[in-house]
């Protein structure tokens, strides 16, 4: 929903009551019966709310923290211990109340995402804690549900093709549709902010952290797909978050473990990195996430972008005109912690122009540090209020003051529905890319019942997939009339004779000699036709011996494996085209059909 075009956003009566002498109760936050709020261009309601908040409550609104456990009030013992050790409280509800948090981010590893119904119950429990304490402001609940290789919530929620797969498909309509489905399901689970889409332009094959999370290497195509996904997510009622500003696509260091440097000149940045973020801002994106990386052409100080006023205020706010919420990437990542201590990072991020402080490694320390900076005069309280107003406006735009709740019925009606799964398969059908098929091996003819062997890499699948990719691919090929057996790599060469073809799943094949290269070479030497299926980065074929056919799927969840099986058997015509060049082998846009 573009800025200042949404009219007559409803706020609950409790939003006003929360700042009145009478106070408010959690029971006040129910659908219906609420007065109409002023236009979002008129923030007088939010200003009145902020004026009645304590400094601690204002500072709390800036923080989005993790919390351990599947329940807001009744965590498993190990999760209660983790909360106690990290935050000094036993439950997520106590964490929200103690620090007046503005939001919680869900992670599978924090045991927040066992099932859609459990997530919905957790969301409702956290909202009850928020609207029953402090300033009684509902939470903005969030997660990283990029799809493809990053999915915090697995099946039975719908798993959709990720960004580079959508880039291979090239359809803005498909990208918008995927985001609309994803947003609808997240909203039904009580999640109103997704840290997606990725707006980085992946022009570096050695990038260790972005890769297939990017839509591709063409800035204009990436920009169009980013804008489409912003429309899809926000059309479903949740906040989209374009990341990682000012652009993480041409780096060779993972900011989780080090401090990347982007060596682009200012002109190169404007040509390569800026367009997707400019498109997101033009599309009315609710939030932009910063990158923990140094960009000397934009700020020669050596500070990471998250802590850089020239980048956050000077470029994002002033040059691009972004007026929404700026959220930091996670503050527990090494990239933002190398130059300054954990007590300074949140203060410097606010001085740079950030609004949301995401997942600090030590929340009590971070909260105290921001309070101390205000009391010492380093941070002006008016600066804190600017960010709080942006956050409150975002919460109002996403209807959190009207109705922060969800329900089991809403989850059942929206999450993992047959219609959504069917749509995911339709979208994925256009993404699988046939890179090579020199002798016309593909498509295989199910009428001949060809016996197939499937082997290779089995990366850990996102939560909720039905098995390793080799097993899923074999199952899907069999269902399509081509009997297939999955075997581990150690048995593949001996098992290959007598099969019409061997499909080898490859995963991030390195340069030079490697076990994956050796496996493919040994299989090729058997004389059985080999089909290489790159299940993550499409750069793998350039690092392997020549095969009878080569495919790229861009991820290895069930939906991508089903699509690959259909392409291999001719059930669908291949339609994907490379959204990145494969150096030394294939140009940008390459893709075969039959």
DSSP string, 532-579: EEESS-TTGGGGS---SEEEE-S--SHHHHHHHHHHHHTSS------S
Peptide bond into 293 cis (omega under 30): no
In angstroms, the Cα distances linking 482 to 212, 468, 509 are 29, 19, 27
Task: Kindly tell me the burial class for residue 584, based on how many C-beta atoms sit within 10 Å of its own C-beta (0-12, 13-18, 19 or more).
Answer: exposed
- Residue 570 burial by Cβ neighbours in a 10 Å radius (0-12, 13-18, 19+): middle
* Catalytic member of 254, 256, 343, 362: 256
Distances (CA, A) of 164 to 42, 48, 474, 518: 39, 45, 24, 27
CB 79 within 8 A of CB 69: yes
Distance CA 227, CA 197 (A): 9
Distance of CA 511 to the CA centre of its chain: 28
Angle among Cα 584, 590, 594 to the nearest 5 degrees reads 130
3-state secondary structure of 456: strand
Tokens of 127: 């909202």
What is the C-alpha separation between 560 and 467, in angstroms, rounded? Answer: 13
Listed in sequence order, the residues at least 6 apart from 277 whose beta carbon sits closer than 8 Å to its beta carbon are: 199, 226, 242, 245, 246, 247, 288, 316, 320
Q: Has 4 been annotated as catalytic?
A: no
Q: Are 431 and 225 in contact (CB under 8 A)?
A: no
HEC-encoded secondary structure of 391-450 = HHHHHHHCCCCCCCCCCHHHHHHHCCCHHHHHHHHHHHHCCCEEEECCCCCCCCCHHHCC
Query: Is 403 one of the annotated active-site residues of the chain?
Result: no
Q: Which of 301, 299, 284, 293 is nearest to 242 (CA)?
A: 284
CA 123/CA 140 separation, integer angstroms = 10
CA distance 250 to 292: 13
3-state helix vs strand vs coil in the chain, percent to 5: 40, 10, 45
Number of helical H runs and strand E runs in the chain: 22, 16
Q: What is the DSSP letter of 307?
A: G
Query: Which residue, among 135, 283, 107, has the nearest Cα to 191 in the 3D structure?
Result: 107
Q: Three-state secondary structure along 263-292?
A: CCCHHHHHHHHHHHHHHHHHCCCCEEEECC
Q: How many CA atoms lie within 13 A of 365 on its CB side?
A: 13
Q: Is the peptide bond before 395 cis (omega within 30 degrees of 0)?
A: no
Q: What is the secondary structure of 199-234 as a DSSP string?
A: ------TT-SSSGGGS--S-HHHHHHHHHHHHHHHH
Catalytic residue among 200, 218, 329, 540: 329
Q: Which residues are identified as catalytic?
A: 256, 329
């Amino acid at each position: 929903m573009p800025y200042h075009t949404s009219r007559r956003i409803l706020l609950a009566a409790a939003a006003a009551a929360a700042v009145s002498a009478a106070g408010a109760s959690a029971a006040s936050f129910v659908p219906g019966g609420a007065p109409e709020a002023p236009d979002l261009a008129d923030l007088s309601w939010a200003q009145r709310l902020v004026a009645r908040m304590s400094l601690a409550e204002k500072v709390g609104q800036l923080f989005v923290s993790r919390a351990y456990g599947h329940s807001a009030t009744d965590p498993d013992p190990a999760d209660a211990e983790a909360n106690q050790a990290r935050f000094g409280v036993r439950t997520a509800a106590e964490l929200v109340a103690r620090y007046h948090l503005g939001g919680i981010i869900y992670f599978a590893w924090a045991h927040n995402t066992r099932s859609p119904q459990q997530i919905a119950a957790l969301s409702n429990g956290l909202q009850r804690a928020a609207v029953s304490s402090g300033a009684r402001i509902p939470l903005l609940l969030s997660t990283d549900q990029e799809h493809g290789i990053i999915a915090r919530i697995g099946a039975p929620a719908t798993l959709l093709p990720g960004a580079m797969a959508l880039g291979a498909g090239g359809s803005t309509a498909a990208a918008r549709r995927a985001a609309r489905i994803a947003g609808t399901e997240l909203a039904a689970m009580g999640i109103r902010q997704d840290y997606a889409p990725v707006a980085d332009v992946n022009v570096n094959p050695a990038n260790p952290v972005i890769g297939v999370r990017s839509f591709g290497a063409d800035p204009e195509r990436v920009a169009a797909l980013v804008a489409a996904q912003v429309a899809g997510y926000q059309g479903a009622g949740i906040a989209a978050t374009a990341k990682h500003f000012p652009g993480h696509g041409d780096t060779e260091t993972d900011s989780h473990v080090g401090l990347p440097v982007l060596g682009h000149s200012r002109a190169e940045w404007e040509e390569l990195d800026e367009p997707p973020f400019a498109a997101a801002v033009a599309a009315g994106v609710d939030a932009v996430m910063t990158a923990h990386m140094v960009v000397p052409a934009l700020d020669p100080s050596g500070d990471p972008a998250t802590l850089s006023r020239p980048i956050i205020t000077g470029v994002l706010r002033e040059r691009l005109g972004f007026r929404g919420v700026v959220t930091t990437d996670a503050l527990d990542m090494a990239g933002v912690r190398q130059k300054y201590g954990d007590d300074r990072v949140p203060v410097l991020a606010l001085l740079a122009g950030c609004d949301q402080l995401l997942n600090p490694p030590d929340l009590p320390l971070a909260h105290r540090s921001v309070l101390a900076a205000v009391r010492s005069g380093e941070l002006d309280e008016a600066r804190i209020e600017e960010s709080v107003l942006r956050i409150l406006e975002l919460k109002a735009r996403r209807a959190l003051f009207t109705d922060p709740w969800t329900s089991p019925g809403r989850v059942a009606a929206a999450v993992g529905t047959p219609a959504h799964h069917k749509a995911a398969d339709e979208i994925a059908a256009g993404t699988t890319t046939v890179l090579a098929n020199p002798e016309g091996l593909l498509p295989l003819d199910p009428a001949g019942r060809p016996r197939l062997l499937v082997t290779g890499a089995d990366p850990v699948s996102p939560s909720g997939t039905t098995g390793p990719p080799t097993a899923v691919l074999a199952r899907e090929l069999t269902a399509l009339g081509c009997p297939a057996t999955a075997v581990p790599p150690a048995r593949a060469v001996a098992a290959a004779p007598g099969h019409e073809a061997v499909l080898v799943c490859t995963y991030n094949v390195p340069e030079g000699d490697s076990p994956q290269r050796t496996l493919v070479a040994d299989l090729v030497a058997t004389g059985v036709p080999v089909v290489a299926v790159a299940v993550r980065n499409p750069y793998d074929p350039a690092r392997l011996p020549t095969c009878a056919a080569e495919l790229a799927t861009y991820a290895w969840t069930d939906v991508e494996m089903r699509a690959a099986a259909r392409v291999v058997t001719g059930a669908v015509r291949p339609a994907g085209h490379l959204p990145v060049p494969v150096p030394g082998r294939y140009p940008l846009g390459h893709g075969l059909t039959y």
